[in-house]
């Protein structure tokens, strides 16, 4: 797959209109994509094992999207073959009173993955330049110092996010960011499915439908976020997401290629460790 289809070039005047949510570049059928995903899942399992054993790198995978775009399904299908001991998944919903007593990055940064692990943020600190930007009245709950909620607030938050992500990458944590780009028509269809299918009713609330009235505002907020926070050290990938099968194969392939770029390998055994293993082997064989 050609990753250039998805990458938001740092510093570019990116527009979501350039990405058609129903496109499936690189694949003509669901069957061929599923075959590719199966192979990537096998490769991912081996790479994650090396990541864990080496313990020098960590990966933070961030998924942002409008409701129903397929974040949960992508996590489930792409990471199905990975050792769960090496994965941590965190969902970020409405901030608690404790979280609102801290800076806007606090609740996410305390859940960063250790070296050797893959951490997944289903939504993230980027909500603070998305939902909060679309609904600026939420800033009143954040107890900011007087004068903080000014015109430059969003640019300042972009700067803070870029700085923390640069810090993380310099310390061995690769920040891999995906925006799942779903069309308004496809979201409507999926919301209706959740209403019509009783076993999916738990997934929908009236708030989900209400937020659609702010669709254009969200698209503007996403475009601004993508333009200002797609950097050389932590770029954004915009994934066409009207077809769930395509979302999954694209994310899986990018994750595999990212891990391959880290030159992961199993730790080398020292001479002393070899001697200790030989001794242990002789003891075990003696027992037999």
Residue 1 has pLDDT above 80, yes or no: no
Distance CA 24, CA 181 (A): 12
Of the pLDDT bands very low, low, confident and very high (cuts 50, 70, 90), residue 273 is confident
Q: Which two tokens stand for residue 111?
A: 């859940």
Q: What does the block give as tokens for 114?
A: 């250790």
Provide the CATH number for the domain formed by 3-287 in this structure: 3.40.50.300
Q: In this predicted model, what pLDDT tens digit does every residue of 130-152 receive, in sequence order?
A: 999 999 999 999 999 887 777 79
Structure tokens of 80? 């199905």
Model pLDDT, residue 33: 95
Q: What is the pLDDT of residue 197?
A: 86
Helices (H), 55-152: 71-78, 97-100, 106-109, 131-134
d(CA 234, CA 174): 8
Helix axes 30-54, 244-260, angle to 10 degrees: 30
**Taking Cα atoms as reference points, which of 263, 256, 248 lies closest to residue 24?**
248
Which residues are CB-neighbours of 251 under 8 A, at least 6 positions away? 74, 78, 178, 239
Written as one string, the DSSP assignment of 234-251 is S-EEEEE-SSHHHHHHHH
The Cα 119–Cα 121 span in angstroms is: 7
Q: How many CB atoms lie within 10 A of CB 165?
A: 21
Measured between alpha carbons, how far is 223 from 221 in angstroms, rounded to an integer?
6
* Residues 176, 254 contacting (CB under 8 angstroms): yes
pLDDT, tens digit, 9 for 90 and up, residues 232-270:
999 999 999 999 999 999 999 999 999 999 999 999 888
Residue 24 has pLDDT above 90, yes or no: yes
Strand partners, 63: 122, 178
Mean pLDDT score of the chain, rounded to an integer? 94
User: Region 19-36: what's the mean pLDDT?
Assistant: 94
Q: What is the pTM of this model?
A: 0.93
Residue among 211, 247, 220 nearest 25 (CA): 247
Could you tell me the CA-to-CA distances from 233 to 10, 172, 218 in Å, in that order? 9, 11, 25
- Smallest CA-to-CA distance from 41 within 249, 244, 266, 247 is with 249
Q: How many helices (H) and strands (E) does the chain have?
A: 11, 5
Mean of pLDDT values over 167-193: 97
CA dist 165 and 122 (Å) reads 17
pLDDT band at 30, cuts 50/70/90? very high
């Amino acid at each position: 797959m050609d990753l250039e289809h998805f990458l938001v070039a740092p510093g570019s005047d990116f527009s979501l209109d350039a990405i058609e949510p129903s496109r499936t570049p690189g694949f003509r059928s669901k069957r061929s994509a599923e075959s590719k995903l199966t192979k990537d899942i096998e490769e991912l399992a081996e790479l994650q094992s090396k990541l864990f054993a080496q313990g020098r790198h960590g990966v933070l995978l961030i998924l942002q999207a409008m409701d129903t775009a397929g974040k949960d399904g992508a996590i489930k299908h792409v990471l199905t073959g990975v050792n769960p001991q090496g994965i941590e998944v965190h969902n970020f919903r409405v901030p608690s009173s404790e979280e609102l007593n801290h800076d806007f990055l606090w609740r996410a940064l305390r859940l960063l993955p250790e070296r050797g692990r893959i951490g997944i943020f289903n939504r993230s600190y980027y909500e603070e330049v998305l939902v909060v930007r679309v609904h600026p009245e939420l800033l009143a709950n954040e107890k900011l110092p007087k004068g903080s909620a000014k015109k430059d607030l969003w640019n300042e938050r972009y700067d803070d996010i870029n700085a923390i992500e640069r810090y993380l990458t310099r310390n061995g944590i690769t920040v891999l960011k995906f925006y799942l780009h779903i069309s308004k028509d496809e979201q409507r269809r999926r919301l209706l499915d959740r209403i019509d299918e009783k076993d999916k009713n738990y997934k929908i609330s009236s708030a989900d439908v209400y937020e659609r009235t702010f669709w254009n505002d969200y698209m503007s907020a996403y475009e601004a976020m993508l333009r200002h926070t797609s950097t050389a050290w932590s770029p954004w990938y915009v994934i066409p997401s009207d077809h769930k099968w395509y979302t999954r194969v694209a994310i899986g392939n990018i994750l595999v290629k990212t891990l391959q770029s880290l030159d992961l390998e199993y730790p080398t055994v020292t001479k002393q460790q070899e001697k200790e293993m030989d001794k242990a082997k002789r003891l075990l064989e003696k027992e037999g």
